[in-house]
Amino acid sequence: MSISTTLSFDPLFSFNHCVNREREPSIHSSKPKLFSRTSSSTFTLFNSSNNNCSYNFASWKPHKFHTPKFEAFATNTDTLESLQSSDVLFDQTFPINRTELVEGKIFVRLDHGKDLGNWELTVGCNLTGKWILHWGVSHVDDVGSEWDQPPRDMIPPGSVPIKDYAIETPMLKSLSSAEVDALHEVKIDIKPNTDISAINFVLKDEETGAWYQHKGRDFKVPLVNYLKDDANIIGSKKGFSLWPGAFGQISNILLKSDATHDKVEDGNTGSRTTQVENSQLEGFYVELPITKEIVVNNSINVSIRKCPETAKNNLYLETDIPGDILLHWGVCRDDLRWWEIPPAPHPPETIAFKDRALRTKLQSRDNGVGSSLQLSLGEELSGFLFVLKLNDGTWINDMGDDFYIPLPRSSSLIIGKRDDQFEGVQREVTEVTEESGQEESASTFTDEIINEIRHLVTDISSEKNRKTKSKEAQESILQEIEKLAAEAYSIFRSSVPTFSEETIVESEAAVESKTVIFPELPPQISSGTGTGYEILCQGFNWESHKSGRWYVELKDKAAELASFGVTVIWLPPPTESVSPEGYMPKDLYNLNSRYGTIDQLKDVVKTFHEVGIKVLGDVVLNHRCAHYKNPNGIWNLFGGRLNWDDRAIVADDPHFQGRGNKSSGDNFHAAPNIDHSQEFVRKDLKEWLLWLRREIGYDGWRLDFVRGFWGGYVKDYLEASEPYFAVGEYWDSLSYTYGEMDHNQDAHRQRIVDWINATGGTAGAFDVTTKGILHSALEKCEYWRLSDQKGKPPGVLGWWPSRAVTFIENHDTGSTQGHWRFPSGKEMQGYAYTLTHPGTPSVFYDHLFSQYKTEISTLLSIRKRNKIHCRSTVKICKAERDVYAALIDEKVAMKIGPGQFEPPSGSQKWSSALEGRDYKIWEAS
């Protein structure tokens, strides 16, 4: 936070192709029934490469494994569709909306138009969708990569201008070719001898909001032959191939312009003058691959009949999902739904998984559509639990939870699908973090590790030891803490059933890259890391309040933000405030602010949830503006629901005559500093945070000015409100000597680490250290600063990466305040660093919706595609005067700076994924 009268500030895209992020808000509970029903629920897919999901349970329940009496056999179930007789005790159809990756091509052709004196550019795509060509032109004397609108006679009918720099033209469908069912195309007429040097374009699928580029950049079709060769140029080809669809066959000839080579002499006027020599167009035809995720509707049907001979329950499962399908299943005895592994006999092709569940391959149906299985289950069992694994590694479950099928008992034929106490709980998981509870069987081992960690934490945190221990010794202790945490985490992970063999025993540094599914575990939210794969976006700037309807405006961006891969959005302070920006709160329960009304706030939060994005509230806990003056004329008496008196204000605040205890941090001089040592204050604030969670639907917190109070109080607030994700703003000055930034910034990052440690690791913190070092490295071409004395990243992410929230700009540092603006023109170098490195990266709204949109979205796609997470490993390859280069998880190579770097050759092959001004990213093949 920051206002103009204070000295304290608030420091702190690859478009995802058709990612379906919508989820049901709750799990439906069903009463006992004797008749069949078709579920109206929508079910969620898990894919081992999709790590944007999270569990959200309220409490932890340990797993217990038993061995019930059990008998099973497999049979063909082609006749299940007709099972509607009176002996059907249960019948339920689960609709499944899954995605498939389809491949297609983008076609680009340049040749003579109907008038041989002119040319015609045709762009087409053979994938289904509502395609839009977003395009513009470059002129011969343009500098940089700016677009301009084309002349009117070039614009096809039906086009729409985008501001003053681009045109959007719908791509019309052509069905005239049996070879291509749906070719979408657009034609642009081009007159020779103009000063247009190139046509630039990208494709947009309006059905999904996805954008498609060429090697992470705009497509560029050159119209003059002296353009600098670039990776995104679609150049002339000697000869033509077959153009699919309506174009038919094209002879293998070279088309050249018959136009004369006009020479435009340099004029002495101020108008655009060009010198186009040898501007001889050559026709070409190219095909470029494109992939798109499409939604496919399938279903799973489960029926139960009572066998009259054995009195057992015959369960029939069938699905129309194609391909080989693995059933991961178990049974339970009671409503707690603890998974149990049954003894043999098992169906054919059944294997045990870690002694916790069974895996059986479904049998192909005789009619060739889908697969099925039949099981016989004993009366003593209460339920059947399962998930499905497809042959592409995708997991299918019930909105993130296991499918649960109630089994009829002699005393009760049908039991509900979900107890009322679980209603409204959404179950998805991509990571179990170190905060998660441990199994009883592992508690002895983990208790010892936890005690050892506490001793180490106490050792490194004490003031005396910080002064006497060397930085090397302190860093060694931190490394030991991380190792112990990883060991405890590994024990916990190996003690619970999961549905991916790869996730059982792995180090903390790599564990988040796998998908984990729990049969019936309430979630343990890791408020310091979320899933470990979070992408945070600050959803406002310093001017956003001025419209008075920011919530409404931001709501319209929700789907687009989700398509970029954003998983968490940070909203502005919601409370009534003396300052319009919200950082001088007054009545905490009044949520009608300059950003909008409380109803508009609820609506925007609901909208973000619908697209799968978690929402952070910006809460100001350090200070609060008073409603009334005391008899001395001092503003220190509060009104509203929290009508505190001056005991709620710290005693050493020099301006507000507080009668509380001394402050546990730094004072914020523009408003009364709250005394968090007061029990009534903490009680009221915890109730307020819980009210915000319940009433508004916030998933977590951005904590303002946490330098002002002890991190232990933050721990108390977070344990009470149980946020999905939390990050604190701990901003103070870096170390300088005679105006020059010191290379060693250990003292600065140590202060941030100490605060995180005081919270018990329940919150992350903005990595101000990394931002400051990036400033100096990029501005002065001193890239050697990006490696510390141990060869690690020099910021918080080098010491405690899982708690580092990296950023390059926010509403205080940039926007119209500009308190600490990132070096101009080098923003993409900053994002090339933060979006490829560990930690949780934060993207600023102003950058995401700017000229950097395409590059940022591509970086986000690279991060997601390679499963880079908050604990990914970094190997620094170069940190020299003019270049910094690193390998991340051995999957991504990156470099920033004007200097040269190529990834090391060897067993891995590297391909260029994105290149921009003084930065480049590679991916391992």
- Are 788 and 798 spatial neighbours (Cβ–Cβ below 8 Å)? yes
- Percent of the chain with pLDDT strictly greater than 70: 70
**Taking residues 604-618, what's their average pLDDT?**
97
**Taking residues 232-248, what's their average pLDDT?**
42
| Helix-strand-coil split of the chain, %, nearest 5 | 20, 25, 55
At 443-482, the pLDDT tens digits run 444 555 666 666 666 666 555 555 555 666 666 676 667 6
Q: Is 437 helix (H, G, I), strand (E, B) or coil?
A: coil
Asked if residue 326 and residue 402 are part of one domain, the reply reads yes
With a cut of 80, say whether residue 257 has pLDDT above it.
Answer: no
Token pair listed for 399: 């909105």
Residue type, 597: T
Domain count, the chain: 2
**Taking residues 500-521, what's their average pLDDT?**
32
Classify residue 32: in a domain, yes or no.
Answer: no
Parent domain of 222 = 100-234+281-290
Classify residue 26: in a domain, yes or no.
Answer: no
Of 65, 170, 70, 171, nearest in space to 124 by CA? 171
pLDDT for the residue numbered 523: 37
Of 229, 245, 218, 239, nearest in space to 110 by CA? 239
- Are 638 and 645 spatial neighbours (Cβ–Cβ below 8 Å)? yes
Average pLDDT, the chain: 76
Asked if residue 220 and residue 318 are part of one domain, the reply reads no
Q: How far apart are the C-alpha atoms of 921 and 915, rounded to whole Å? A: 6
Q: How far apart are the C-alpha atoms of 657 and 643, rounded to whole Å? A: 17
Classify residue 684: in a domain, yes or no.
Answer: no
pLDDT for the residue numbered 486: 56
DSSP string, 391-419: TTSEEE-BTTBPEEEE---SS-S---SS-
User: Angle, to 10 degrees, between the axis of helix 443-461 and the axis of helix 471-494?
Assistant: 160
Q: How far apart are the C-alpha atoms of 214 and 288, rounded to whole Å? A: 8
User: What values do phi and psi take at 490, rounded to 5?
Assistant: -65, -40
Asked if residue 228 and residue 123 are part of one domain, the reply reads yes
- Are 14 and 674 spatial neighbours (Cβ–Cβ below 8 Å)? no
Q: How far apart are the C-alpha atoms of 627 and 636, rounded to whole Å? A: 8
With a cut of 80, say whether residue 491 has pLDDT above it.
Answer: no
Q: Return the minimum-mean-pLDDT range out of 61-75, 561-575, 686-700.
A: 61-75
- Catalytic hit among 646, 704, 746, 788: 704
**Taking residues 334-351, what's their average pLDDT?**
80
Asked if residue 180 and residue 149 are part of one domain, the reply reads yes
**Taking residues 371-376, what's their average pLDDT?**
90
Q: How far apart are the C-alpha atoms of 836 and 763, rounded to whole Å? A: 22
Output the CA–CA distances (angstroms, integers) from residue 384 to 157, 333, 335, 826, in the order listed.
59, 9, 11, 57
Classify residue 846: in a domain, yes or no.
Answer: no
Token pair listed for 642: 């929290």
The pTM assigned to this predicted structure is: 0.50
Peptide bond into 345 cis (omega under 30): yes
Asked if residue 285 and residue 195 are part of one domain, the reply reads yes
Give the angle 10-13-15 at the CA atoms, nearest 5°: 150
Confidence label for 259 from pLDDT (cuts 50, 70 and 90) = very low
pLDDT for the residue numbered 44: 35
Asked if residue 199 and residue 344 are part of one domain, the reply reads no
Strand partners, 202: 134
pLDDT for the residue numbered 858: 96
Q: Is there a catalytic annotation at residue 788?
A: no
Asked if residue 361 and residue 286 are part of one domain, the reply reads no
Pick the residue with more confidence: 794 or 381?
A: 794
pLDDT for the residue numbered 461: 58
Largest CA distance in the chain: 102
Last residue of a domain, one of 364, 381, 406: 406
At 527-567, the pLDDT tens digits run 999 999 999 999 999 999 999 999 999 999 999 999 999 99
**E-state strands within 307-457:** 313-319, 325-332, 350-353, 357-361, 363-364, 371-377, 383-390, 394-396, 403-406
Confidence label for 725 from pLDDT (cuts 50, 70 and 90) = very high
Q: Is there a catalytic annotation at residue 439?
A: no
Classify residue 104: in a domain, yes or no.
Answer: yes
Of 174, 173, 179, nearest in space to 132 by CA? 173
**Taking residues 404-408, what's their average pLDDT?**
88
Asked if residue 393 and residue 323 are part of one domain, the reply reads yes
Q: Is 831 helix (H, G, I), strand (E, B) or coil?
A: helix
pLDDT for the residue numbered 854: 95
pLDDT for the residue numbered 225: 63
User: Angle, to 10 degrees, between the axis of helix 827-834 and the axis of helix 853-865?
Assistant: 10
Asked if residue 201 and residue 332 are part of one domain, the reply reads no
Confidence label for 640 from pLDDT (cuts 50, 70 and 90) = very high
- Are 645 and 637 spatial neighbours (Cβ–Cβ below 8 Å)? yes
Q: Which residues contact 589 (CB under 8 A, 6 or more apart)?
A: 575, 640, 641, 642, 688, 691
With a cut of 60, say whether residue 270 has pLDDT above it.
Answer: no
DSSP string, 667-684: --TTSPBB-TTSHHHHHH
Asked if residue 328 and residue 209 are part of one domain, the reply reads no
Last residue of a domain, one of 255, 290, 325: 290
Last residue of a domain, one of 265, 290, 315: 290
Query: DSSP assignment, residue 620?
Result: -
At 693-711, the pLDDT tens digits run 999 999 999 999 999 999 9
With a cut of 90, say whether residue 855 has pLDDT above it.
Answer: yes
Residue 427: how many CA atoms within 13 Å on its side-chain side? Answer: 26
Q: How far apart are the C-alpha atoms of 330 and 384, rounded to whole Å? A: 6
Q: Give the H or E element holding residue 537.
A: strand 536-538
Asked if residue 179 and residue 111 are part of one domain, the reply reads yes
Classify residue 848: in a domain, yes or no.
Answer: no
Confidence label for 87 from pLDDT (cuts 50, 70 and 90) = confident
Q: Return the minimum-mean-pLDDT range out of 93-102, 210-219, 725-734.
A: 210-219
**Taking residues 218-239, what's their average pLDDT?**
63
Token pair listed for 240: 């033509």
Asked if residue 285 and residue 143 are part of one domain, the reply reads yes
Classify residue 139: in a domain, yes or no.
Answer: yes
At 287-296, the pLDDT tens digits run 888 888 788 8
Give the burial string for 71-97 (b: 16+ CB within 10 Å, else e). Answer: ebebeebeebeebeeeebbbbbebebe
Give the angle 635-637-642 at the CA atoms, nearest 5°: 135
At 167-196, the pLDDT tens digits run 999 998 875 544 445 688 999 988 876 788
- Are 451 and 481 spatial neighbours (Cβ–Cβ below 8 Å)? no
- Catalytic hit among 428, 520, 581, 729: 729
Q: Which residues contact 310 (CB under 8 A, 6 or more apart)?
A: 376
At 314-334, the pLDDT tens digits run 899 999 999 899 999 998 887
Classify residue 690: in a domain, yes or no.
Answer: no
